Amino acid sequence: MKKEFFYISNLLSLLRMILVIPLIFLIAAGTYKTAVIIILVSMFISDLLDGFLARKLNQVSELGKIIDPLADKAAVVSVVIVLFLMGRIETWFVIVVVARDLLILVFGLYLKSKNKIVLMSNYPGKIAVLSIGIIILLCVLNDNNSELLKITISYLYYISVLLIIYSLILYYKRFSKSLGETNG
């Protein structure tokens, strides 16, 4: 486990978790928009890189399967809550995002405790998180309440929800299959 901690992919996931703290403060401050954008883009790139590097360097680990999605959830939930408190993101969308992450967390913990299995993130889930990230970025950028950005964001809400539902269905199928494989 100690060796796994120092895998480059796991260090990238940890960095993403750490970046949540300054990101939240910068968003709440409402200034330093360039720094917010840089951090958001860095977090997205690190999310793409950690899985790629884990597979490329043959460093897929149980620790990585846990901290990668945990870093995603910490970032997404923290930022959408801050944006909600600032009145920049729709309440119903925050509920959908938080419910998604709670469902995945609960199912993941159950599967881990019952069968010692950790499901890796999948691409539809990553695409759903990307769609949420784009909405977050646009909500951060829309501090002057641009009508065009508001309309764009409203359409993206629905696209994102469809992606979330699709990724949850796939996750549940994988969850059920994993549960059945060890019980059957």
Per-residue pLDDT of the chain (184 residues; tens, 9 = 90+): 677 888 888 999 999 999 999 999 999 888 788 899 999 999 988 888 888 888 898 888 878 878 888 888 889 999 999 999 999 999 999 999 999 989 988 888 888 888 777 777 778 888 898 899 999 999 988 877 788 999 999 999 999 999 999 999 998 998 888 887 655 4
- 184 in any annotated domain: no
Interatomic CA distance for residues 94 and 91, integer angstroms: 5
Q: Nearest-5° angle of CA 35, CA 40, CA 44?
A: 145
SS3 labels along 104-143: HHHHHHHHHHHHCCCCCCCHHHHHHHHHHHHHHHHHHHCC
Helices 91-115 and 147-183 pack at an angle, to 10 degrees, of 20
- 120 in any annotated domain: yes
- 66 in any annotated domain: yes
pLDDT at 81: 94
- 21 in any annotated domain: yes
- 7 in any annotated domain: yes
pLDDT at 38: 93
Instruction: Determine how many CB atoms are found less than 10 A away from the CB of residue 65.
Output: 20
**For the chain, what is the domain count?**
1
Q: For residue 112, what is the domain's CATH number?
A: 1.20.120
Coarse DSSP helix, strand, coil percentages of the chain, rounded to the nearest 5 percent:
85, 0, 15
- 70 in any annotated domain: yes
All residues at 6 or more sequence positions from 112 whose CB lies less than 8 Å from its CB, including other chains? 118
- 54 in any annotated domain: yes
Domain span at residue 38 reads 2-179
Interatomic CA distance for residues 9 and 54, integer angstroms: 5
30 DSSP 8-state letter: T
- 170 in any annotated domain: yes
